[in-house]
Amino acid sequence: MTDLAEIQRKAIAGARNLLQNCVELTTGQTLLLVEEDRNIDYFDNRTADIIAQEARDMGATVLTLTTPRADGPEDVPQALTSAMQHVHHTVFLNRIGDQMRFKSLPGDGTKTMVYTLDMDTLASRAAGYDHNFMTRFVNLFNGVLDGKKHWHITCPAGTNVQGEMPAPKPVSNAGGGFAVRLFPMSVHKPIPANTMKGQIVLKRWVTGTNTHAYSPEVHYLNSPITVHVEDGHAVAFEGDKTDVDAFRAHGKMVADQFGLDDSLIHSWHSGLNPGTGYFASAKDDPVRWNGMIFGSPRHLHFHTCGDYPPGEINWHVIDPTVTFDGETFLESGELTFFQNAAAQELLQWFGLMPESMKTHQNIGL
């Protein structure tokens, strides 16, 4: 079997996992596949084709709608909202699904945002873990967080911030407040940053959050910048003056466009799917990288510039160590939480070996 044939076989298995275990598609149902313009080099067209064919093989009727990326969640085309009311399931291979993930959506069918942007990712471990396992694992993680009081984040670049956990809501779930299902399941619920204090060291770039479209979506950092934080706000900056000024100007540009506070850090979360990788060069397209890599335990990001989730600008931290009440849940990009007794039991239930949960090291950097 050639490498391409093996990748295609695994991609088909990933598509089946999406449709069967996440979307819960069954024979005789209708699936609306929402795509971006195929001339836009964000989603690999082969991904949509594999998912559509697998849905047909499962006995479903597949409808395809191509729509431009919206300016924001308040700018969703009427044709899309109407179509969603007449199908059993809607699957987004379009960033518009990201833009709608905190919005109340029309229709009684399921809605799923897909982050496997290319065939390699659809064939990866990230998409291969049984979605039911990942859902239960994220539920377990979120439930344990409900009993915690304090969190602390460090990273090799010098990030060192901490804060207090909010009182738990009545129900913690893997959805994390999202109006759409996420595939692959990859993150815990956002942790509010309003009590955060310390310093965040930023390198490489900051990116948009796929909430509103603006340009440029990426601001490249020529040198590291240290952001000092008090009570969830950036209060001081260290670094090369020219680079700091440019960084602050970018934040102000975005804040002014949407009437926001560019100093505000709303929340954060780290990745929980150890199979997540990025199989291209991140620096060639940080926007696309941002749209995939958030699920990796090697990646943690802060939602900034906005008093709503997920804000408008992501600040990225690589290889974080995260503790809750002094207990290490994530260490240098590896999920030590898998050593938790309940997590071990869950692994055994799904027939997964601990070595299959090692963090994928290739994240495009």
Q: How confident is the model at residue 174 (pLDDT cuts 50, 70, 90)?
A: very low
Of 280, 265, 294, residue with least CA distance to 362:
280
**Cβ-Cβ contacts under 8 Å for 317 (sequence gap 6 or more):** 153, 155, 157, 159, 200, 201, 202, 299, 300, 301, 302
Instruction: Say yes or no to pLDDT of 118 above 70.
Output: yes
Are 122 and 154 contained in the same domain?
Answer: no
Same domain membership, residue 227 and residue 163: yes
Q: What are phi and psi of 118, to 5 degrees?
A: -145, 170
User: Is 349 within the bounds of a domain?
Assistant: yes
One domain, residues 241 and 293 = yes
Mean pLDDT of 269-281: 96
User: What is the average pLDDT across 29-46?
Assistant: 91
Q: In this structure, are 93 and 205 located in the same domain?
A: no
CATH number of the domain enclosing 15: 3.40.50.2300
Beta bridge partners of 163: 151
pLDDT at residue 313 in the model = 98
Q: Are residues 51 and 152 in the same domain?
A: no
Note down the domain range covering 42: 3-128
Residue 24 has pLDDT above 50, yes or no: yes
Q: Which residue has the tokens 């050639």?
A: 2
Q: What's the pLDDT at 177?
A: 53
Mean pLDDT, rounded, for 9-17: 97
In a domain, 361, yes or no: no
Tokens standing for residue 150: 């304090």
The answer on 165 and 80 residing in a single domain is: no
228 shares a domain with 331: yes
pLDDT band, very low/low/confident/very high, at 100 (cuts 50, 70, 90): confident
Tell me: do 214 and 314 sit in the same domain: yes
Q: Is residue 137 part of a domain?
A: no
Residue 241 reports pLDDT greater than 80: yes
Q: In what order do the strands lie in the sheet with 89-93?
A: 61-66, 30-35, 89-93, 110-114, 181-183
Q: Looking at 36-40, 85-89, 294-298, 351-355, which range is the least confident one?
A: 36-40
Q: What is the pLDDT of residue 178?
A: 61
Q: Quick one: 171 and 274 in the same domain?
A: yes
Sequence-separated (6 or more) residues with CB below 8 Å from residue 177: 102, 189, 190, 309
Our count of domains for the chain comes to 2
- In a domain? residue 142: no
Tell me, yes or no, whether 208 and 332 share the same domain: yes
**Same domain, yes or no: 124 and 153:** no
